[in-house]
Amino acid sequence: MVRIGVAAWNYVEPVDSEGTPRSSAKDKFISRLVSFLTRSVYREVEVFVPATLPRGTPTLAVSNHFGGFADALVLLDVMPRRPGIVARDVIWRTPLVGRLMNWIGAIPVHKPEDRGSASSNDEMFASCYQALADGGNLLIFPEGVTRNEPSIAPVKTGAARIALGARAHGVSGLSVVPVGIHYEDKAALRSRVFVNVGSPIDVDAAVAADSSRGHDVDANDRDAVRELTEEIATALRRVAPDYHDWSEAQLLTAGSEITLRSLVDDPAADVDLGLRDRLANTLADRPSERRGNICEAVSSYRDDLDALGYSDAELHSRLGAGSFVRSIVWQLLIGVFLFPFALVGAVINLIPFLVVKAVGALRVAPSMLSTLKPIAAFGAFGLGWGIVIWLCVRSFGWEAGVAAFVLLPVYLAAVIVLVERLALMWRLVRRRRATESVQQLPARLAERRAAVVESVLAA
Amino acid sequence: MSEWALLLIVALPLLALWIRSMFEVVRRGDYSATQRVTWTLILILIPVVGLASYVVARTSPKLRVSGERGDSSRAEELVLLAERRQRGELDDAGFHEAVAALRHG
């Protein structure tokens, strides 16, 4: 059974007289849950917000869709007010997922190619207009599909029709905010994710710019819809990854990272995922000849690095023996302190972890994986922890259950921190080895690295 | 032995979390004085359950949000320049001039 329009009216956050959202207990619970999930799945969530972002006015966020369910999770976490998510109605057919969608107040949209669903989207449009009129947020993935290529699919007209229709229904001050989600590795656990928010498109201004049409533009005005859709597509290509192919995506990103590393004072520092991908995005827009130059320079530098067996960051971190030993001892101390808690955490979380790993080993598209993995993690860890809490209550009384509820996340955090400390120690060892074995950078390597930086800056 | 283990595994993290929450409540700028006093009393007077309710009730900490600040690093400045050129606010010559200034300035 397909449920359309259920609960579509109650997702708007109530706003008090000063315009600050009053969040209910449910809102708080959802935001806690979402932030716990994202912070467990990702090592770092970075957001870039332009100074021009409007506050307190209705917004329609349009985002790229590389990661399926993970996209929604990340955006629910970083957007200041929980948006109503416009999603394909076929998602509602999966029993539990349908309930989840209703619970977070998602709005089902019918697509003509999905058979057996509603024949019109009138209800969807009405829900969206209502949400925006109440000063709420909406989130839509205007490509309409999850994507496994590092580029933006043709943008559908839905987002523009919602925006223009809402304006025709009396919503003023509406802005369309382009959002680009960049995954360091979308199938990996504990990697980084970066949310790039672009300059908002003022819908009133976009309509007024074409004065010949006057003010009676609505969702059925084909020219206006086409123009706004084009504007949205351009904005989306600027904020989201949009490369010709995976090889170009990798090479331009690597070139961007090397160039940025050459500009910071500490050459061993991790380059922010955000800075790296924002620069790489602008490189992807350059003429093909200049892109080719960068790719060529990066390829030959990378061949040299591979022959040597170290990465660019490792080669440029001069790690002295003294600070190496100090860092290792410090990490070991933290590790010893964390060990008992991490051990408890490992025992409790082993089975849910294996379940998630097993799901991760499925042979499906990466965007499907990033949908399945968070859902599997949610189910497996939720069930596992529920059992532990129930066992505690049954054997030691309800106070023990409450204590377990508080401590379970702490034990999991101990495992994560311990594993990451070990990874850090391994990186320190590699940096130290690089420092010792490569006393002087070979001239050819330095030259090739300089060529990468030049090609990026000259592009 | 098992009592010691229990103390280490259960009591120590609870105590650490409790102390951290106490510090957080007292310093919270977004709470009114009444809220701060109430939460402090709850944390002191109701062991474990008070802590659990605070853990549930507290809103999540701020994310790392980067913005177009004035005091940007050279790397950040390069990215901002490249983005301005992409938006058409800066032409090629202007971009390369600014980049040269950035590298040698």
The confidence score (pLDDT) of residue A60 equals 93
Q: Does B99 touch chain A (CB under 8 A)?
A: yes
Cβ pair B66:A48 closer than 8 A? yes
Please say whether the beta carbons of A229 and A155 come within 8 A: yes
Residues B90 and B47 in one domain: no
The verdict on residue B64 lying in a domain is no
Query: What confidence score (pLDDT) does residue B1 get?
Result: 56
State which residue of chain B sits closest to A28, comparing Cα positions. B59
CB-CB under 8 Å, B99 with A282: no
Q: Residue A116's pLDDT is what?
A: 59
Q: Quote the domain boundaries for residue B46.
A: 3-57
- Across the interface, of A199, A272, A406, the residue whose CB is closest to B55 is A406
pLDDT of residue A19: 45
Q: Which residues pair with A183 in a beta bridge?
A: A193
Residue B63 is assigned to a structural domain of this protein: no
Residues linked to residue A201 through DSSP beta bridges, in sequence order: A176
Kindly determine whether residue A282 and residue B86, on different chains, have CB atoms separated by under 8 Å.
Answer: yes
Statement: residue B97 has pLDDT above 50? yes
Residues B20 and B47 in one domain: yes
What is the rounded average pLDDT for all residues in chain B? 80
B35, part of any domain? yes
- Do residues B16 and B49 share a domain? yes
Residue B33 falls inside a structural domain: yes
CB contact (8 A) between residue B48 and residue A406: yes
Q: Which residue of B has its CA nearest to A458?
A: B96
Which phi and psi (to 5°) does residue A357 adopt? -60, -45
Assess whether pLDDT exceeds 50 at residue B54: yes
pLDDT of residue A3: 23
At A253 the pLDDT is 95
A118 pLDDT band, cuts 50/70/90, is: low
Is A55's pLDDT higher than 90? no
The pLDDT value given to residue A23: 63
Interface test with B, best of A239, A406, A418 (most B CBs within 10 A): A406
Q: Give the pLDDT confidence score for residue A162 in this predicted structure.
A: 93
Q: Are residues B12 and B51 in the same domain?
A: yes
pLDDT value of position A214: 58
Specify the pTM. 0.80
Q: CA separation (Å) from A148 to A67, A359, A365, A387? A: 8, 18, 7, 37
Q: Is the pLDDT of residue A233 over 50?
A: yes
Is B87 contained in some domain?
A: yes
CA distance A377 to A382: 8
Whether A316 and chain B come into contact, CB under 8 Å, resolves to no
pLDDT tens digits for A256-277?
A: 999 998 887 776 667 888 899 9
Distances, alpha carbon A393 to alpha carbons A32, A65, A352, A397, A414, in Å: 24, 42, 21, 4, 23
Q: Give the whole-number percent of chain A exceeding pLDDT 70.
A: 91
- Residues of A with Cβ-Cβ distance to B82 under 8 angstroms: 278-279, 282-283
* Chain A from 379 to 398: CB within 8 A of any B CB: none
- B11 and B53 co-located in one domain: yes
Nearest by CB: A407 against B14, B57, B73? B14
Looking at the structure, do residues B53 and B76 belong to the same domain, yes or no?
Answer: no
Looking at the complex, does the CB of residue B2 fall below 8 Å from at least one CB of chain A? no
Are residues B63 and A274, on separate chains, in Cβ contact within 8 Å? no
Across the interface, whether the CB atoms of A403 and B14 are under 8 A apart is answered yes
Tell me whether A278 touches chain B (CB under 8 Å): yes
B80 domain-assigned: yes
Q: Would you say A47 and B65 are in contact if contact means Cβ atoms under 8 Å apart?
A: yes
Contacts across the A-B interface (CB distance below 8 Å): 101
pLDDT for residue A36 is more than 80? no
Higher pLDDT, B72 or A398: A398
In this predicted structure, what is the pLDDT of residue A315?
82
Residues 3-62 of B with CB under 8 A from A: 5, 8-10, 13-14, 17, 48-49, 51-52, 55-57, 59-60
pLDDT exceeds 50 at position B64: no
Which residues, in sequence order, are CB contacts of A200 under 8 Å at separation 6+?
A: A50, A52, A53, A54, A59, A175, A176, A177, A178
Instruction: For residues B53 and B9, state if they share a domain.
Output: yes
Nearest by CB to residue A402, choosing from B5, B49, B57, is B49
- Regarding whether B11 and B51 lie in a shared domain, the answer is yes
Looking at the 3D structure of chain B, how many domains does it have? Answer: 2
> Stretch A330-359: mean pLDDT, rounded?
90
23-52 in chain A: CB under 8 A from chain B:
28-29, 31-32, 35, 44-51
More confident residue, A346 or A51: A346
Mutation for A interface: B20, B43, B83, B85, most A CBs within 10 A = B83
pLDDT, position A223: 87
Contact list, B74 vs chain A (CB under 8 Å): 263-264
Q: What is the mean pLDDT of residues B57-86?
A: 68
B57: closest chain A residue by CA: A28
Note whether B8 and B49 are same-domain residues.
Answer: yes
User: Residue B65 falls within a domain, yes or no?
Assistant: no
Same domain, B100 and B76: yes
Average of per-residue pLDDT values in chain A = 83
Q: Are residues B77 and B37 in the same domain?
A: no
Is the CB of residue B1 less than 8 Å away from at least one CB of chain A? Answer: no
**Of the ranges A73-77, A315-319, A412-416, which one carries the lowest mean pLDDT score?**
A315-319
The least confident of A203-217, A347-361, A368-382, B69-83 is: A203-217
Confidence tier at A152 by pLDDT (50, 70, 90): very high
Residue at which a domain ends, from B57, B80, B95: B57
Residue A5 reports pLDDT greater than 50: no
Q: What is the mean pLDDT of residues B62-72?
A: 46
The answer to whether residue B66 is domain-embedded is no
